[in-house]
Structure 1
Amino acid sequence: MTVEARFLSRDAFAERIAKFPVAILPLGATEQHGHHLPLGTDTILAEHFAVRVAEATGATVLPAMPFGYSWVWRDDAGSVTLDQQVMEDVICNVAESMARHGVKHLIMINGHEANSATMKYATRRVWDNPDIKVWRLFYPNLSQELAAHCESPTWHGIVHACEFETSLMLAIAPETVEMDKAVAEYPDRDPAYFYGGRPMGELSKSGVFGDATKGTAEKGRAMIEVFTKHMISMVKDICA
């Protein structure tokens, strides 16, 4: 049986929740990822991990949120951004809806780094709700896995359209990746971005922050297995 709520009837959904009262909400984005990756990269990745985790634990996957906080790409074609407060409200509304149906834990699996702050605030808003808890997962031990599997350095710790994301996408959805358009770009460090409000879209010509040309499916598969294993373990611990 599918683990995705969008393919379940109301009865099938209720049956799954009665057995294991945990729902997973994939959080993604629709934003530029250079000229070689699709706009939906973060959503594709989040959904992949959500399904893998659900298959291993018995959780049920909700439809992914395809929009996130993408203000820094607001001027790049195809990019869509939500205000942080709007996104926070949506997460809380989803949690409140799930609580009415017996879900005890809502696990957010995030594929878009900039969603992290909003996720934190949403989990805090719901924390005092006695009927449901909200949890947030990104890539577990990311810095360690980057050091172990990637050849190129990140751009000041940020992963975007780089070797890391390109490798994951080559492993999960290779048909969406145009490697002949992959480039390496490390924009100059700009205080206006790190300490001010300048959008990242003004810093990079290609939209790549790092070296996308180093991406391979082999690296992606290795990291995916490690992340998936950690996420499964974390969900089991949370819901024990």
Structure 2
Amino acid sequence: MIIEEMTMPEFEAGLKRCRTVYLPFGSCEEHGSHLPLSTDTIEAYEVGKRAAERIPLFVAPPIHYGSCRSTSCHPGTVSISTGTLKAILKDLVRSFRAQGMKNFVVLTGHAGGSHKMALQDAGEEMIVEFDDINVAVVTEFDLAKEAGAPLIETRGDAHAGEIETSRILHSHPQLVKGTAPEEYPSFPNGILVRDKRSFWPGGVWGNPAKATAEKGRKLETIVADRVVELVKTLESRAW
């Protein structure tokens, strides 16, 4: 059930089948010279749609902005604060709960450390505020990397490399502009760097040349499978 495409009566009828909502978080962030700025958002939203084809599940419209620190100096990255990110998730949970939702699956396509921690913090605060809801917070990248390990040839692939390029080649091939050079940046340990792009010029972490649309299809399926499992687990009991 894709919420942005539903009417009011359809939403109301859907509540008789399901009280779980999938909240896709993304970013407007550089993904090398070959992938769109919306890569994280596309990945998170597409996985939700695939999961909703298999089980009753509300899929909310995606959040297109995230907290992006490592890529903040790269052209095209538009970041929001962790405080704003937390507030967005908390407001969404409160509003969806008022509409009758009980289970919340927060999947973020952007896997930045501060971004993920902000979403986890917001989720923790929500389960304290409301004792009648369940919340899960996961990253699309972690699910893809863990479950799709046998498919991935690039060791240490992390950003705009083999995994993400494969995903977009599968779901939105028209948005992929060729490939980009293999790159593995190294930031100084413990030092907070102002000019982050000087340590990461190309904005790639991995090897996009290893990507294929078929790998992307398999990865999307694997991650959707994990989301379905997560939804069933979340709905099975009060956590």
Q: Do the two structures share a fold, i.e. TM-score over 0.5?
A: yes
- The aligned residue for residue 126 of structure 1 is 126
Q: What whole-Å deviation, never above 9, does each CA across 1:63-103 have from its counterpart, x for those lacking one?
A: 10000011322222221101001100110000000111110
Where 1:63 maps in the other structure, the secondary structure is: coil
Matches within 5 A, 1:6-21: 6-21=4-19
* 8 A contact 2:27–2:110 mirrored in 1: yes
* 8 A contact 2:144–2:222 mirrored in 1: no
RMSD: 1.7
1:143 Cα deviation from its structure 2 partner: 4.1
Correspondence for 1:228 among 218, 224, 227:
224
- The aligned residue for residue 89 of structure 1 is 87
- The aligned residue for residue 203 of structure 2 is 207
The normalised TM-score by structure 2 is: 0.90
Q: What whole-Å deviation, never above 9, does each CA across 1:162-218 have from its counterpart, x for those lacking one?
A: 111111111111111112x4211122x222xx4232264332221111111111112
- The aligned residue for residue 217 of structure 1 is 213
Stretch deviating more after TM superposition (199-208 or 106-115): 199-208
- The aligned residue for residue 136 of structure 2 is 135
What is the distance in 2 between the residues matched to 1:91 and 1:60? 16
Equivalent residue letter for 1:134: V
- The aligned residue for residue 40 of structure 2 is 42
- The aligned residue for residue 59 of structure 2 is 61
Correspondence for 2:29 among 31, 37, 40:
31
Specify whether residues 64 and 143 from structure 1 end up closer, same or farther in structure 2 by C-alpha distance, changes over 3 A only: closer
* 8 A contact 1:185–1:208 mirrored in 2: yes
The normalised TM-score by structure 1 is: 0.90
- The aligned residue for residue 178 of structure 1 is 177
Whether 2:153 is the aligned partner of 1:151: answer yes
Specify whether residues 28 and 74 from structure 1 end up closer, same or farther in structure 2 by C-alpha distance, changes over 3 A only: same
1:226 Cα deviation from its structure 2 partner: 1.6
Equivalent residue letter for 1:148: P
Equivalent residue letter for 2:131: P
Misfit runs of 4+, over 6 Å? none
What is the distance in 1 between the residues matched to 2:16 and 2:90? 22
Number of positions where the alignment pairs a residue of Structure 1 with one of Structure 2: 231
Where 1:58 maps in the other structure, the secondary structure is: coil
What is the distance in 1 between the residues matched to 2:20 and 2:106? 11
Equivalent residue letter for 2:149: A
What is the distance in 2 between the residues matched to 1:55 and 1:146? 21
Q: Which runs of 5 or more structure 2 residues have no equivalent in the other structure? A: none
1:54 Cα deviation from its structure 2 partner: 1.9
Where 2:70 maps in the other structure, the secondary structure is: helix
Task: State the identity as a percent.
Answer: 26
Equivalent residue letter for 1:167: S
Where 1:26 maps in the other structure, the secondary structure is: strand
Specify whether residues 146 and 49 from structure 1 end up closer, same or farther in structure 2 by C-alpha distance, changes over 3 A only: closer
Equivalent residue letter for 2:192: G
1:141 Cα deviation from its structure 2 partner: 4.7
Q: Which runs of 5 or more structure 1 residues have no equivalent in the other structure? A: none
* 8 A contact 2:134–2:234 mirrored in 1: no
- The aligned residue for residue 96 of structure 2 is 98
Specify whether residues 201 and 17 from structure 1 end up closer, same or farther in structure 2 by C-alpha distance, changes over 3 A only: farther
